[in-house]
Amino acid sequence: MPPTLSALRRHAIGRSLFTPTTLGRAIERLGFVQADPIRAPARAQDLALRHRVRGYRVGDLERRYPRLGIEEDFFVNYGFLPRNIQALMHPRAGLPRWPGKRAAQAAAVLEFVREHGTVHPRSVDAQFAHGRTRNWFGGSRNASTQLLDAMHYRGLLRVAARESGVRLYAVRETCAPATDPDRALDALVDVIVRKYAPLPSLTLAELTGRLRHAAPQWAAGRAAALRRAQQRLPHATVAGVEWYWPAGEDPGQWRRRVDEGLHLLAPFDPLVWDRRRFETFWGWAYRFEAYTPPAKRVRGYYALPLLWRDEVIGWANLAQRDSRLQAELGYVRGRPPGGAAFAQALEAELQRMRDFLGLA
């Protein structure tokens, strides 16, 4: 018998909100942690890891990054991933050739970084004075920073550390291309499935399509990789949707109890990232509204979905004011659940957030 929709929902929650472990093991298990620069009240990567790492405090990932054996890179989004997974995506080939001037700038910067070991973008800009350029949303940024980003994506540089959130770069050693592209693509698809399962078929197709950015050299193989995944992964049709999950798992036989606590989730948390799945599981539309004009926002600038037991029942906008945490909560049904259990769970989660942020 195929699993029920409620079984799929419990499976998604239980496998994603696993028992908290060490930072390195949590990243290894997730396979990929999406990053975002907005802090409201903390960056998305910190907000996601605090549920999955024992005693996690804001900024732990940045502080411990150089010792963790992980890399920053673009996967299906930009974020952090183990080095063995990053190696599957490199060397990236098939990218447009840089014009002569751009190639000469990159060569000069590469030599500068090689001489200095680890560099701050400010040092590169001071050395070369590349000027300003426009970014994708119409703003202005240093051309040196844009060049460093491009060199990082092309595998010439790596992020060695961060300083107050700013990426510091070092030369990345070249690696040999994969001898079996199909096997490498299948491994990348498996990372997607392990992180976001159970996945609707459309989400699996969308995320496999995003591998054109992770491994542009194998863009033509994505359709075949999707077909192989659909053939080898367990799947079932539930509520008119085809769902996929990792081999060896059975959502219908998931025995782990749903956590009785409450969780405020980041907008890019793997549990809520897929808005299509979100609406199927919980029956309402959640949208990320940080870039929505204030007058058109429904939930708020950086609304955190509020998961209680196995239901997402509302959202919260959090802010720090004078070393205190302020919370504005909204509920799908217009009011919070009654009873002491919810009130206690909410206060416990807000206290965990204060501890995570280092607030009184």
Residue 137 pLDDT grade (very low, low, confident, very high; cuts 50, 70, 90): very low
Cβ pair 89, 152 in contact under 8 A: no
Q: What is the DSSP string of 285-318?
A: -----TTS-GGG-SS-TTPEEEEETTEEEEEEEE
| pLDDT at 297 (0 to 100) | 96
Q: For 272-306, what is each residue's pLDDT tens digit?
A: 999 999 999 999 999 999 999 999 999 999 999 99
| pLDDT at 136 (0 to 100) | 47
* Assigned domain for 145 exists: yes
- What three-state secondary structure class fits 175? coil
Q: For 201-210, what is each residue's pLDDT tens digit?
A: 999 999 999 9
Quick one: 98 exposed, middle or buried, by C-beta within 10 A (0-12, 13-18, 19+)?
A: middle
Which pTM does this prediction carry?
Answer: 0.93
Whether residue 171 has pLDDT greater than 80? yes
Q: At what angle do helices 222-232 and 181-196 cross, to 10 degrees?
A: 60
What average pLDDT does this structure show over 25-45? 96
Whether residue 260 has pLDDT greater than 50? yes
What average pLDDT does this structure show over 68-77? 97
**Residue at which a domain ends, from 171, 189, 215:** 171
Domain range for 297 is: 262-357
* Assigned domain for 23 exists: no
Residue 110 pLDDT grade (very low, low, confident, very high; cuts 50, 70, 90): very high
Residue 58: partners with Cβ closer than 8 Å, 6 or more residues away: 42, 43, 46, 50, 356, 357, 358
User: What Å distances lie between residue 38 and 15, 35, 301, CA to CA?
Assistant: 27, 9, 10
**Residue at which a domain ends, from 171, 190, 214:** 171
Residue 326 pLDDT grade (very low, low, confident, very high; cuts 50, 70, 90): very high
**What is the number of structural domains in the chain?**
2
* Assigned domain for 330 exists: yes
Residue 134 pLDDT grade (very low, low, confident, very high; cuts 50, 70, 90): low
**Residue at which a domain ends, from 121, 140, 171:** 171
* Assigned domain for 128 exists: yes
| pLDDT at 141 (0 to 100) | 56
Other beta carbons within 10 angstroms of residue 90's beta carbon come to 20
Q: What's the CATH code of the domain at 139?
A: 1.10.10
Q: Which of the two residues, 253 and 297, has the higher pLDDT score?
A: 297
* Assigned domain for 318 exists: yes
What average pLDDT does this structure show over 43-68? 97
Which is it for the CA torsion 25, 31, 37, 40, positive or negative? Answer: negative
| pLDDT at 140 (0 to 100) | 46
Cross-strand bridge partners of residue 74: 78
What average pLDDT does this structure show over 56-80? 97
* Assigned domain for 305 exists: yes
- Summary count for the chain: helices (H), strands (E): 14, 14
Quick one: 297 exposed, middle or buried, by C-beta within 10 A (0-12, 13-18, 19+)?
A: middle
Whether residue 19 has pLDDT greater than 80? yes
Cβ pair 84, 28 in contact under 8 A: no
| pLDDT at 135 (0 to 100) | 53
How far is the C-alpha of 80 from the C-alpha of 213, rounded, in Å? Answer: 15
How far is the C-alpha of 351 from the C-alpha of 264, rounded, in Å? Answer: 12
- Give percent above pLDDT 70 in the chain: 95
Average pLDDT, the chain: 93
Whether residue 317 has pLDDT greater than 90? yes
How far is the C-alpha of 273 from the C-alpha of 95, rounded, in Å? Answer: 29
Token couple for 144: 């040196």
Other beta carbons within 10 angstroms of residue 31's beta carbon come to 19
| pLDDT at 164 (0 to 100) | 87
Whether residue 255 has pLDDT greater than 90? no
Q: For 111-131, what is each residue's pLDDT tens digit?
A: 999 999 999 999 998 888 755
* Assigned domain for 124 exists: yes
What average pLDDT does this structure show over 323-340? 93
Q: For 83-105, what is each residue's pLDDT tens digit?
A: 999 999 999 998 999 999 999 99
* Assigned domain for 106 exists: yes
Token couple for 184: 């490498």
